[in-house]
Amino acid sequence: MVGQHEAYSPERISFRPLAEADLPLLHRWLNTPHVSEWWKVNGKRNPDYAAVTGKFMPRIHGQEPVSCFLVLYDNRPVAFIESVRMENFPTEKAMLKINPNAASVDTFIGEVDFLHRGFGPVYIRKFLKEIIFREPGINSCIVDPDPANKIAVRAWEKAGFTFSHRVWNDEDKVTAHIMTVNRETVCPPSAML
């Protein structure tokens, strides 16, 4: 286990597509206080197992264009991350005023012993490099954390995201705090040579 003052090694982080066998773990995480404070399933906090299954099974089976992964540290599942191509969600893309060729990600750390220790920015940055910007058509990635979730906003900033704009999200009835990172920030052309 990594202590509070030790650095997390990106080489020890990997991503595995979410599987049906992972749903009990995901259900447990979604019902922990630090996750349920900010995450809802179908508009509700602390979802029951049926709600978690109903939401994530279509994604697991490729029936919805949302890619879901577990974040592993030394092969131990410790976090959840999902991504979408905004082109697959034209209504949301227009509502949130997102540029073309953008992806979006959302994530949470499930395991309490990985909270508040600098893990988030490390795995987010690795996910951007290995998953998001591996797709040549994606030029930017957006997130829309709740502005009141200062810890999440700071983690996104440390991963390279900067504030872009605020816009009313009519679907969720909240002001969306849009943050963006561009491909060049994460994968500079000089690093590709």
Total number of residues shown for the chain: 193
With bands split at pLDDT 50, 70 and 90, how would you rate the model's confidence at 181?
very high
In a domain, 5, yes or no: no
Q: Is the pLDDT of residue 101 over 50?
A: yes
- The mean per-residue pLDDT over the stretch 133-158 comes to 93
In a domain, 91, yes or no: yes
Q: For position 102, which CATH number holds?
A: 3.40.630.30
**Start-to-end C-alpha separation, the chain:** 35
| Residue 168 vs residue 48, higher pLDDT | 48
In a domain, 3, yes or no: no
Chain segment 77-87, per-residue pLDDT in tens:
999 999 999 99
Reading the block at residue 119, the tokens are: 């893990």
Whether the CB-CB separation of 67 and 138 falls below 8 Å is answered with: no
* Average pLDDT, rounded, for the chain: 92
Question: Whole-angstrom Cα distance, residue 99 to residue 164?
Answer: 11
List the single range of 13-17, 80-84, 109-113, 134-138 with lowest mean pLDDT.
Answer: 134-138
| Residue 192 vs residue 103, higher pLDDT | 103
Chain segment 148-179, per-residue pLDDT in tens:
889 999 999 999 999 999 988 777 777 888 99
- Give residue 118's identity as a one-letter amino acid code: G
Q: Is the pLDDT of residue 61 over 60?
A: yes
In a domain, 2, yes or no: no
- The mean per-residue pLDDT over the stretch 18-35 comes to 98
In a domain, 56, yes or no: yes
Give the pLDDT score at 4.
47
What's 46's DSSP letter?
Answer: S
For residue 105, which phi and psi values (nearest 5 degrees)? -130, 160
- Give residue 46's identity as a one-letter amino acid code: N
With bands split at pLDDT 50, 70 and 90, how would you rate the model's confidence at 147?
confident
Give the pLDDT score at 190.
65
Give the pLDDT score at 189.
80
The model's pTM is 0.92
In a domain, 21, yes or no: yes
Give the contacts of 38 (CB within 8 A, at least 6 positions apart).
Answer: 108, 146, 149, 152
Give the pLDDT score at 20.
98
Question: How many domains does one find in the chain?
Answer: 1
- Rounded to whole angstroms, what are the CA distances from 172 to 24, 40, 48, 92, 167? 26, 11, 20, 11, 12
In a domain, 4, yes or no: no
List the domain range (segments joined by +) for residue 76: 10-192
Give the pLDDT score at 193.
44
